Amino acid sequence: MGVVKVHGIPLSTAAMRVMACLYEKELEFELVPVDLRAGEHKKEPFISLNPFGQVPAFEDGDLKLFESRAITQYIAHQYAGNGTPLVCPDPKKMAVVSVWMEVEGHQYDPAASKLTYELAIKKFLNATADNAVVEEYEAKLAKVLDVYEARLACCKYLAGDCFTLADLHHLPTMQYLMGTQAKKLFDSRPHVSAWCADIMGRPAWSKVLAMQNKA
């Protein structure tokens, strides 16, 4: 294994997604800070690591990657023998993990990220939330969480009996939203609420949060 580096900051949801995965796999890594306020992510040398100018970027020896969900999948497969299993070798089981990873990316994340920005990130930036946007996106997230409530009534985790990347990918925005008025959307759905408490209580996730306190 080469030297593993994550270029980003502990407050970035996408960087947190990658770090959660690294902690679950019990892998050593270095977090290389990127000064977002100074626009470091839009210039060289960062742009060479991610031409879209977004955090995180990732290095494992000579391999360079961007897009957090591609990075977590690489880590989960490359280090399948380390730490928590996060993917499945059986194609059918893996396909179900894929389905719910896609659901997180396409159904959950657009609403959750928008709300995270309005209700949490804007606070850091001393800006006011746009109530019309909050209302619209809370309604969208509510519909998605209704589907999750039905799914989690039959399965402990999204892809079945075991915690996988499909669950892990939700953690960063979930964590932010639990500190805002949007918490009610999760708390009011018993299976979703139990699932959130379970995955947010994982030791690896506490290590990601500890990085925010150090920053």
Partner 1 sequence: MVVKVYGPVAAACPQRVLACLMEIGTEYEIIPVDLQTGEHKKPEFLARQPFGQVPVIYDGDFKLFESRAIIRYLAAKHGGHIGSNLLGRTIEEKALVDQWLEVEAHNFNDLVYTLVFQLVVLPRMGKRGDLALAHSSEQKLEKVLDIYEERLSKSDYLAGNSFTMADLSHLPGIRYLVEDAGMGHLIRGRKHVSAWWDTISSRPAWKKVMHLLN
Residues in contact with partner 1 by the rule CB under 8 A: 51-52, 63, 65-71, 73-74, 77-78, 91-92, 94-96, 98-99, 101-103, 105-107, 110, 144, 147, 150-151
For residue 45, the minimal CB distance to partner 1 (Å) is 16
CA dihedral 43, 14, 134, 152 (to 10 degrees): 160
Cβ distance to partner 1 smaller for residue 99 or 215: 99
CA distances in angstroms from 35 to 32, 64, 88, 118, listed in the order given: 10, 20, 36, 22
Residue 210 beta carbon to partner 1: minimum distance, rounded to whole angstroms: 27
Min dist. Cβ of residue 109 to partner 1 (A): 8
Compute the least distance from the CB of residue 90 to partner 1, in Å: 10
Residue among 140 and 156 whose Cβ is closer to partner 1? 140
Residues 159, 171: Cα–Cα separation, whole Å: 15
Q: Considering beta carbons, is residue 110 or 160 the nearer one to partner 1? A: 110
CA distance 4 to 205: 19
Structure tokens at 193: 């609420």
153 or 215: CB nearest partner 1: 153
Q: Is 32 helix (H, G, I), strand (E, B) or coil?
A: strand
β-strands 63-66, 57-60 pairing: antiparallel
Token readout for 69 is 């969900």
